[in-house]
């Protein structure tokens, strides 16, 4: 693995992970990561996410990460299946995931149970948008709590996906295509 990337669990072992792209339970309908895939981010992003986790723990909550670093070769697969720039970055431009500076996250309680959100992960509908108003009060509260915790540590929320956040310094990192 590239020296710029670090395994998140080494910095923040309490953050849960569920790499959905290592399973068929994602928008592609197939595993696009190997079963042995691990969760990598650039160290700056991982440190920032660790601070979010520590703050949430004080509230009896935590983070679960669905995706972090993603090889450019996988981005190309995603684009072939869903060439919609609202939800999938064009591999000609690259994704912030391809730089190791984007995370897809949700909130969990102290037992590791996911809190209700307005949509499931990888939902490419308006229910995933941060401005979606048709959700329950609890879902809106949880979405807002996640966004606030991430904002506080500098993460930039993506408007079309309640789960996606970018490190504010993403531009200083190169696009990578290093396999897991």
Cα–Cα separations (whole angstroms), residue 110 to 14, 15, 79, 170: 11, 11, 36, 30
The dihedral through the CA atoms of 80, 85, 87, 93 has a sign that is positive
Residue 104 CB neighbours (<10 A): 23
Residue 113 is encoded by which pair of tokens?
Answer: 């149970």
- Residue labelled with tokens 């309908």: 29
End-to-end CA distance of the chain: 7
- Measured between alpha carbons, how far is 126 from 121 in angstroms, rounded to an integer? 12
80 alpha carbon, distance to own chain's centre? 21
Active-site positions read: 161
Counts of helices then strands in the chain (DSSP H, E): 4, 7
Coil, helix or strand at residue 50: helix
């Amino acid at each position: 693995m590239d020296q710029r990337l670090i395994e998140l669990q080494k910095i923040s072992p309490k953050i849960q992970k569920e790499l959905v792209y290592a399973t068929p339970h994602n928008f592609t309908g197939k595993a696009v990561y190997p079963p042995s895939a691990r969760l990598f981010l650039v160290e700056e992003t991982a440190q920032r996410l660790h601070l979010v986790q520590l703050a949430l723990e004080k509230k009896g909550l935590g983070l679960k990460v669905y995706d972090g670093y993603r090889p450019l070769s996988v981005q190309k697969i995603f684009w072939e299946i869903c060439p919609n720039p609202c939800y999938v970055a064009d591999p000609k431009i690259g994704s912030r995931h391809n730089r190791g500076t984007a995370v897809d996250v949700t909130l969990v309680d102290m037992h590791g149970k996911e809190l209700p959100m307005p949509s499931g992960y990888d939902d490419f509908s308006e229910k995933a948008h941060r401005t979606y108003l048709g959700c329950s009060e609890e879902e809106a509260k949880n979405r807002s709590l996640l966004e606030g915790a991430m904002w506080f540590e500098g993460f930039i929320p993506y408007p079309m996906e309640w789960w996606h956040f970018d490190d504010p310094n993403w531009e200083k990192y190169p696009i990578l295509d290093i396999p897991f």
